[in-house]
Structure 1
Amino acid sequence: MPPRHPDRRSVDELVEELRDEAEDLAQDLKGIPAQETVCGEAAQALEEYGAALSQIAAGADDPKAVAAEALALAKPLLPIGDAPDTLRDLLKPRRT
């Protein structure tokens, strides 16, 4: 696999940033969990797509089935933000 361009973020970095944005947004949207925001759903979809592409690149027996499952977005949304992130709190303090 060719190396990533230095100006690009990895899938894991993008997912982390999207989840952070989802948590920030959920603070303003009373009653809407972070995973149900557009950023939260995008983070999970990107993570699922990345996992599917990794399986296909590793020689999955049925790459079409792996791709179809990822594109279906059938997995339930996973909760976001259960663990405290002290460094993030210092860098991005929440409005109260």
Structure 2
Amino acid sequence: MTDNRSDCGCDSARLRIGFVVDHELNAEECAEVRAHCETCAECAEELRVTATITDKVRDACAECPPEDLKARVYGAVSEKIGKPLQF
């Protein structure tokens, strides 16, 4: 079996998929990658998976920590070192 990925632009597309997902390419470059993904199932799947993972990470990072987290961390550290921390 021959690997035709470089023939169909897979190498270039795969290098740029993360940039497409993060909106870091200009419109023309983004369109090139998306057009390639419309004709290549493997790259389309990589684009889909990369977008899904990126969205999940963004969502997880968007959650606000509990308001008392800082106090709890300082309290735990103070207890461990045996003296109160100032904050």
* TM-score w.r.t. length of structure 2: 0.35
Give the number of the structure whose alpha-carbon radius of gyration is greater. 2
Structure number with higher helix proportion: 2
Structure with more relative contact order (C-alpha pairs < 8 Å, separation 6 or more)? 1
* TM-score w.r.t. length of structure 1: 0.33
